[in-house]
Structure 1
């Protein structure tokens, strides 16, 4: 077989993820080639993502490259991947999840400011809504760009602090101080590297299945089905996190919030996993029947 062409965004974090996939494939004696592609989401750094009007802003250009046979596989942060993929493309494999949490990073002048008094830079509706649930009246500013760009903007004074996925900081091996935020429920699939492929490339897809982590697969399927059933796309303030405990039980935390954080519906359940049960859909239906339907329609009208 020729080299497996690995498509990726061009940011330092995305390239780290692509190299990690390449390493796992090379360990199984497959040749690889990394093909960086600049995504639309990386070209437009001025508008918040939710105003760009489409889901998959970070994945669209890689989808096109896959369909045009310019690459064999596409490596993504799974939380950026829409739950409905273009015809011909499917998620084949996920690497083992690490560090799913959101963390707070302050600039050097804001070390002693109380959480409730911080001005926060984030373009994520989920992070804003969940923060406002705890600290109503917080002032926000938008921030876009890769990890290094956002850290630079933070130090230049765009805000007192910003929020990162801990996985991104760890993967970049950045030596910076951060704080855990127990009230922030992560985005569905946060901390997971996902690999998409063309459904016709059966030989490559079989190879990819050999580097997939089965527990992460189960958990992210539940989280992404939960998101999809709530019709959240990539914009509504929806959090979801599933993990498997020592008794082979799944604990699932899910949350949907109004944009201002005032109205929140949550679920926290433990259940025995059974592959034939569509838990993500069932859990989402519970939330929808508990006031989630009305909340989703209010959110959609506000965006």
Structure 2
């Protein structure tokens, strides 16, 4: 590979996405691989007025990078893994994941809402999952949509679009933002939240082998379970589905999964600890349990409502 051209790293053009691309570049450069970062404006970044769930498609942040991969304009695409659909276009595959850092959701308030109770806050979020899980805890909350990168949403918050908004802690930490935030245990994170994923073209085997060499194996196991859970529930990125898997000190998997109705009133969830077996599709098995326990009917209601 050293005698070949640089690996072209495709990424969205947001500050957070560029940070992620640079992390991948550093890991490749540590293996004496040359890299070039190629920013691409995604459809999700072009339309900041409609909430994502109203656009009616999955992969809105990834499809432009998929096209660039298939057109050989880039060699790899770096994503926030939670944005990557569980079904990818023919020829494109998820190759590698970096170690997960922060999977949590956190609450950030505007300066005039510091002393309000959680139940009294007006919340700005365009995530169906965050909306649904919040309403489960605080029914009747006033909600409003908000789009844009971290900096844009912070500006809108101070313009008093709402009392508070919800962020992935990973984004705040990666941008090194000095913010006051609150952990909210009831907001189970999105599948693969806090993970940088790298997609590639299935035919570029030499590059893909290099990408596998920078993968974090424990994160790969956990995100595979989470994504299989999501895929089996057929949630894409539009249904209120949360999932988080971690490997404990006894080398067991603890898995938390949840699906809720859009109003948060009906929720089905699981919390299980089990031994990992690479030959079993643990995420699929866990999702099937939820589907048999009322999840199938709940998913049908959600799909009809969107």
Question: TM-score higher than 0.5 here?
Answer: yes
Summarize the alignment of residues 90-109 of structure 1 with structure 2, pairs less than 5 Å apart: 90-109=93-112
Choose which of 190, 199, 202 in structure 1 pairs with 2:202: 199
Q: Output one character per residue of 1:222-277: Cα deviation in whole Å (capped at 9) or x when no partner.
A: 00000000000110000000000111100000000000000000000000001001
Task: Give the gaps of 5 or more residues in structure 1.
Answer: none
Instruction: Kindly tell me the number of residue pairs found equivalent between the two proteins.
Output: 303
Distance (Å, rounded) in 2 between the aligned partners of 1:198 and 1:262: 42
Corresponding residue number in structure 1 for 2:218? 215
Q: Output one character per residue of 1:154-188: Cα deviation in whole Å (capped at 9) or x when no partner.
A: 00011000000000000000001000001110000
With the length of structure 2 as denominator, give the TM-score of the two structures.
Answer: 0.99
Distance (Å, rounded) in 2 between the aligned partners of 1:184 and 1:140: 15
Corresponding residue number in structure 2 for 1:120? 123
Corresponding residue number in structure 1 for 2:132? 129
Corresponding residue number in structure 2 for 1:225? 228
Distance (Å, rounded) in 2 between the aligned partners of 1:61 and 1:75: 12
Tell me whether 1:61 sits opposite 2:53 in the alignment.
no
Q: Output one character per residue of 1:19-58: Cα deviation in whole Å (capped at 9) or x when no partner.
A: 0000000001000000000000000000000111110000
SS class of match (1:56): coil
Corresponding residue number in structure 2 for 1:182? 185
Distance (Å, rounded) in 1 between the aligned partners of 2:162 and 2:112: 10
Shift of 1:196: 0.1
Corresponding residue number in structure 2 for 1:86? 89
Q: Output one character per residue of 1:97-116: Cα deviation in whole Å (capped at 9) or x when no partner.
A: 01100000000000000000
Corresponding residue number in structure 2 for 1:31? 34
SS class of match (2:274): strand
With the length of structure 1 as denominator, give the TM-score of the two structures.
Answer: 1.00
Distance (Å, rounded) in 2 between the aligned partners of 1:182 and 1:71: 39
SS class of match (2:254): strand
SS class of match (1:103): strand
